[in-house]
Amino acid sequence: MNPALHIDTPMTRTEVRASLSLAAIYMLRMLGMFLILPVLSVFALELPDASPQLVGFAISAYGLTQAILQIPFGLWSDRYGRKRLIALGLLLFAAGSVLAALSDSIYGIIAGRALQGAGAVAAVIMALAADLTREEHRTKAMALIGISIGMSFALSMVIGPVLSGWVGLQGLFWIITALALLAIAVLYTVVPTPSVSRFHRDAEVRPASLKTVLANRELLRLDLGIFCLHLVLTATFVVLPLILRDSLQLETAKHWHIYLPVFGLAIASMVPFVILAEKKRKMKAVFVSFIGLVAISDAGFAWLKHDFWIVFGLLYLFFTGFNLLEATLPSLVSKIAPLDLKGTAMGVYSTAQFLGAFVGGAGGGWIYGHYGIPQVFLFCAAVGLLWFVFALSMKAPRGLSSLLVNVSGLNHDQASSLSKRLLQLPGVAEAVVLAEDGVAYLKIDKEKFDRMALNGLLQEMAA
């Protein structure tokens, strides 16, 4: 046996470097994906053959190709190598950006956006992070990547309009191309190369377990949630920039004047509710309430007058709700998913997210073209209400966190015995030890968990 002797050891310099550099790659890619969101509907309507429905496809085409290819990319990386697949995905993303930059029609933009999404490297980046970090530090690495996603979205809302005012739509796609190439440079100059790459149940999809995950009603409820959230987000941005331009008389380059303070207030406002949800064990109440907040804000856009302060207030409600839900949904998946199937559950969840983005853009564009802007917001409000109803019947999640411990060198009997002993430790709610993985998967109650007791057990095993 060669278990981790102590779970409180700090991250090594290599682990810190790997975590930060992979987070940077993820951020550069997502920044490139989101930069276009707050401005595309304004610029694309001016292109030849453009229609509201085609603009909706241009905004959301990436979601369909990403949903189709993100699980295969992860599986291919097990066979052909992590860095090779990440580089391929980033090259596809860059090629899509170049195609869009060189296009003078809406069809070229749609093709470019679809090709961007074909570079579906999110799962591969997570797998490489798992290769480069020890089990006990993997959650920290994943958290850094999660933070990079949130930062890229917030930055895109602010700098996307500014950059578009300087360089136009084509110039914005050239900037996105440069971001993709910069990510490749970071991949090969900063990201360490793992000595061994292997399958990680907490970070990768296991095809044989998809049926089990898809049969879990609570996980499906969360998959529906992320589908609805990104449907609403994308459909909203089919028409929201038009309201800022036409109703508020705010030129596109100045849209950041409203996005920046709204995002600052929204992020500050959500923090106390995140604490209430996690620390005070009020997750369901907070979660369901903020679904209602998103639905109410979209209904307000449909029914209320579009003057500055009403739009500002509705955007504040929308982004407060969106940011909290975007942050808590992955946490809920982690709390609910079977211990050894977290990676598979997250793969299905991500697929639902990108499908939602595609349906939102395509559906929002179609509704806008046939019925008008208010009906798009009513559609979003109806989707939010549907999600609200489904979420009301969800089980209140337990206040548990995931913990992984390296226990390599065990045979099956020893792994079974260790599982039982781990369950006797204070604060350990679930424990699965898999000898073939050399990993103990735990769900713990942080308020009751005794780290010293676990360290003592690990040292006893190693003796």
355 contacts: CB under 8 Å, gap ≥ 6? 63, 64, 67, 227
The residue with greater pLDDT, 436 or 346, is 346
Q: What is the mean pLDDT of the chain?
A: 92
At residue 198, the pLDDT reads 85
Per domain, the residue ranges of the chain are: 1-194, 205-398, 401-462
Task: Say if residue 107's pLDDT is above 90.
Answer: yes
Q: Phi and psi dihedrals of 430, rounded to 5?
A: -140, 150
Task: Say if residue 362's pLDDT is above 60.
Answer: yes
Position 6 confidence tier, pLDDT thresholds 50, 70, 90 = low
Q: Are domains 1-194 and 401-462 of this chain identical in fold?
A: no
At residue 64, the pLDDT reads 96
Q: Phi and psi dihedrals of 215, rounded to 5?
A: -90, -5
Distance CA 38, CA 55 (A): 13
For the segment 23-52, what is each residue's pLDDT rounded down to a tens digit? 999 999 999 999 999 999 999 988 988 999
Quick one: fold of 1-194? Growth Hormone; Chain: A; (1.20.1250)
What radius of gyration do the chain's Cα atoms show? 23
Q: How many residues does the chain have?
A: 463
Q: What secondary structure letter does DSSP report for 11?
A: P
At residue 279, the pLDDT reads 82
At residue 200, the pLDDT reads 86
The residue with greater pLDDT, 291 or 458, is 291
Q: Which of 108-117, 167-176, 374-383, 426-435 is predicted with the least confidence, judged by mean pLDDT? A: 426-435
At residue 229, the pLDDT reads 97
Position 434 confidence tier, pLDDT thresholds 50, 70, 90 = confident
Q: Which of 131-140, 168-177, 325-334 is predicted with the least confidence, judged by mean pLDDT? A: 131-140
For the segment 75-91, what is each residue's pLDDT rounded down to a tens digit? 999 999 999 999 999 99
Position 201 confidence tier, pLDDT thresholds 50, 70, 90 = confident
Which one, of 80, 122, 114, 79, lies nearest residue 347 by Cα? 122
- Give me the architecture of the 205-398 domain, per CATH: Up-down Bundle (1.20)
Do 120 and 89 touch, CB atoms closer than 8 A? yes
Position 398 confidence tier, pLDDT thresholds 50, 70, 90 = confident
12 contacts: CB under 8 Å, gap ≥ 6? none
For the segment 375-384, what is each residue's pLDDT rounded down to a tens digit? 999 999 999 9
Global pTM value: 0.94
Distance CA 250, CA 244 (A): 6
C-beta neighbour count of 387 within 10 angstroms? 25
At residue 278, the pLDDT reads 82
For the segment 290-341, what is each residue's pLDDT rounded down to a tens digit? 999 999 999 999 999 999 999 999 999 999 999 999 999 998 998 899 888 9
198 contacts: CB under 8 Å, gap ≥ 6? 131
At residue 374, the pLDDT reads 96
At residue 202, the pLDDT reads 85
Do 162 and 253 touch, CB atoms closer than 8 A? yes
Task: Say if residue 280's pLDDT is above 90.
Answer: no
Q: Which of 187-191, 328-332, 343-347, 433-437 is predicted with the least confidence, judged by mean pLDDT? A: 433-437
At residue 42, the pLDDT reads 93
Position 462 confidence tier, pLDDT thresholds 50, 70, 90 = low
| Cross-strand bridge partners of residue 444 | 401, 428
Do 289 and 274 touch, CB atoms closer than 8 A? no
At residue 166, the pLDDT reads 94
- Give me the architecture of the 401-462 domain, per CATH: 2-Layer Sandwich (3.30)
At residue 460, the pLDDT reads 76
At residue 408, the pLDDT reads 80
C-beta neighbour count of 175 within 10 angstroms? 20
For the segment 211-266, what is each residue's pLDDT rounded down to a tens digit? 999 999 999 999 999 999 999 999 999 999 999 999 999 999 999 999 999 999 99
- Give mean pLDDT, residues 275-290: 89
Q: List Cα–Cα distances, 87 to 56, 60, 125, in angstroms.
A: 29, 23, 11
Do 201 and 43 touch, CB atoms closer than 8 A? no
Task: Say if residue 21's pLDDT is above 80.
Answer: yes
100 contacts: CB under 8 Å, gap ≥ 6? 108, 109, 111, 112, 113, 116, 173
- Sheet strands side by side (includes 428-434): 2-3, 401-408, 439-444, 428-434
- Percentage above 90 pLDDT, the chain: 72
Task: Say if residue 205's pLDDT is above 70.
Answer: yes
